[in-house]
Amino acid sequence: MIESSLSLRLNHKNKRKKQLKKAKKQNTKSKTFFPPSMAKEFSVRPVIFPSSTPSTPYTRRPGSSSPPPPFQTAPRTSSPLPFIPFDIPSTSSAPPPLYSGIPIASSSSGYFEDEPPLLEELGINTRQIWRKTVSILNPIRLDPVLHEDGDLSGPFMFLLSFGLFQLLAGKFYFGIVLGWVIMASLFLYSTFNMIAGRNGCLDLYRCFSIIGYCMLPMVIFSAGSLFLPHGGTLIFAIGMVFVFWSTWVCTSLLLRLASCGDEHRGLVGYACWLVYLLFSLLVIF
């Protein structure tokens, strides 16, 4: 008895399901606006902008399964969002274009997606800058591979923040810092190449980049000096510690990147020490 009632209920359920399916099919059929071949591909009405300029419509033969002709875009990373082209031909003409992952270039507007992002175009690799900055913080374990290609944006940020902290202390040193950094890198560049002789292969760009990155301890010092009493032995002692930190990192990087061997460590180290002493002068006095 129970089984029969169960089986009856199941049959009833199946019947209901079939009826629902039929109704659904009828509904979709009634709402379809497109030719039957397109019905499987999309189910949303395209948006028609009234002010669109009639350009050459992007036609596609119905039923063809090949992808749209490849467009010359710059190689870019994946763009998961689909793009709706701005100008769309009128509905009376060819069928509307598809959504596609590859952006379609319209005639006038919508050209932005072909250009690389601004930072990439400028050559500012923020992740690399961050990694280089963090590597300076640990003077014992240095990674010279990170610093092999020079970079001007990191040093500029450090110099600007150095000038900013000095500005907070009431001294306007932006131009002076820039001038002194240029002179210091010229000095270090010529001295290093002369001393290292045949093995030395430092170019001015990389020299400037290394000096700029090793300014990080000086930037920290200039920030800290805002809270210390001006012109005393304490600030002098702390300054010497930071200068020594900067010198150590700069010398190690220079020696490992641009020459082979440690033979002139003292000589190059003295030159670097002079450079960072110069900047500590600005902070202490």
- Can you give the binding site for other proteins, defined by CB under 8 A? 120-121, 123, 148-150, 152, 173, 176, 180, 186-187, 189-191, 193-195, 197-198, 200-201, 203-208, 231, 263-264, 266-267, 270-271, 274, 277-278, 281-282, 284-285
Judge whether 90 and 54 are in contact, CB under 8 Å: yes
| Least distance CB 174 / other proteins (angstroms) | 12
Report how far residue 234's alpha carbon sits from residue 245's, in angstroms, rounded to the nearest whole number.
Answer: 17
Helix (H, G, I), strand (E, B) or coil at 193: helix
Q: Which is nearer to other proteins, 111 or 285 (CB)?
A: 285
| Least distance CB 102 / other proteins (angstroms) | 21
Q: Which is nearer to other proteins, 89 or 239 (CB)?
A: 239
| Least distance CB 254 / other proteins (angstroms) | 14
Q: Which is nearer to other proteins, 250 or 284 (CB)?
A: 284
| Least distance CB 221 / other proteins (angstroms) | 16
The vertex-227 CA angle with 223 and 228, nearest 5°, equals 110
Q: Which is nearer to other proteins, 193 or 252 (CB)?
A: 193
What DSSP designation does 230 have?
A: T
Report how far residue 136's alpha carbon sits from residue 130's, in angstroms, rounded to the nearest whole number.
Answer: 10
Helix (H, G, I), strand (E, B) or coil at 3: helix
Binning the chain into helix, strand and coil, the percentages to the nearest 5 are 60, 0, 40
